[in-house]
Amino acid sequence: MKTKILMMLMAGIVLLAACKGKGNYEAINNSTADSVSLKTDTMQNKPKLVKTAGMGFKVKSVQQSSEKIAALTARYNGMVVHHHINSTLNSSNDVKVSDDSIMRVSAFYTSGEMTVKIPAEKLGEYLDSVGRLGIYVNSSQMDITDKSLDYLSSQMKLNSRKELVNQQKTGKVIIKDPSAVLNLKDDLVDEQIDNRKIDDAVKYSVVNLSFYQSDTIVKEIVANDDPSAYNISFFKRLGLAFQNGWYIFKEVIILIADIWVFILAGAIVWWRVRIYKRKTHLRTNAI
């Protein structure tokens, strides 16, 4: 009897251990399956590598080089998103050519800036082609940023919000505040836009280009803006003075001719007054 009882206890212990072991095995199996699934999903998504580059170089002509860079960018199926050319006056000198004109010699510093987007797989080849357009390269750099985790984080948040929205639509989750639903949908849009930005940055690399040329010398004939430079010479002024004197003399003669009657009348009055004074003086002496 004791033997039978002992055998039954041992059988129960073995059975209990077997059941417990089976449960642990299933838990381990589920955990392993989840890990494998996560690794599989991660491996299926390509790394989100964002490439950016920049280059500074000297060229013979900023204008011509900018046109060549634009054509080269189009050839690589890229796009110019920013283009700026700037000329700065370094120095200027005026050389007198005549009394009323000068030759202005100016030195200008010209530089250009361009920002382009190039397919990422052609970035290295594009940089090599652009570098050959310059006389020499001052600086060149390329950076690679891994956005895989940012993309994965955004994607997981997006899925969670989608699931919550679906549950709210089916009535499994009730959100009483309408503004909370609106904010949730706005977050969905933001996460989608963020991922699209990452996809675009992965597909197209941004390249910042800056280039310049040697100072340009420009010569131009301009009017003299100094009023004192327009004074005539001494001999010209003397000749003009003689001409003006003769003109004034003629005008005086004409004026005298115009008023000859008044002059004659004045002379007669003066002569009569003089005679009268003389007679008066003689009478006074005679007395």
Q: What is the pLDDT of residue 97?
A: 82
Q: Enumerate residues 6+ apart whose C-beta is below 8 A from 86.
A: 110, 111, 112, 113
Q: Which of 61-75, 80-94, 157-171, 213-227 has the lowest mean pLDDT?
A: 157-171
Residue 6 inside a domain? The answer is no
List Cα–Cα distances, 193 to 49, 137, 152, 201, in angstroms. 18, 37, 14, 12
Residue 4 confidence (pLDDT) above 50? no
Residue 233 inside a domain? The answer is no
d(CA 212, CA 57): 7
Strands 79-98 and 49-58: what pairing? Answer: unpaired
Between 3 and 89, the higher pLDDT residue: 89
Per residue in 240-286, pLDDT tens?
888 888 888 888 888 888 888 888 888 888 888 888 777 777 777 66
d(CA 172, CA 158): 19
d(CA 242, CA 45): 101
Residue 124 inside a domain? The answer is yes
Residue 171 inside a domain? The answer is yes
Residue 12 inside a domain? The answer is no
Q: What is the pLDDT of residue 177?
A: 64
For the chain, the domain total comes to 1
Q: What is the pLDDT of residue 32?
A: 36
Residue 92 belongs to domain spanning: 49-222
DSSP for 200-249? Answer: HHHHEEEEEEEEE-PPEEEEEEEE---GGGGPPPHHHHHHHHHHHHHHHH
Cα four-point dihedral sign 33, 37, 43, 48: negative
Residue 97 inside a domain? The answer is yes
Confidence category of residue 226, pLDDT binned at 50, 70, 90: confident
Closest-CA residue to 142 (of 58, 211, 80, 55):
55
Per residue in 174-225, pLDDT tens?
766 666 666 767 777 888 888 899 999 999 999 999 999 999 999 998 887 7
List Cα–Cα distances, 126 to 13, 63, 140, 141, 205, in angstroms. 74, 20, 13, 13, 11
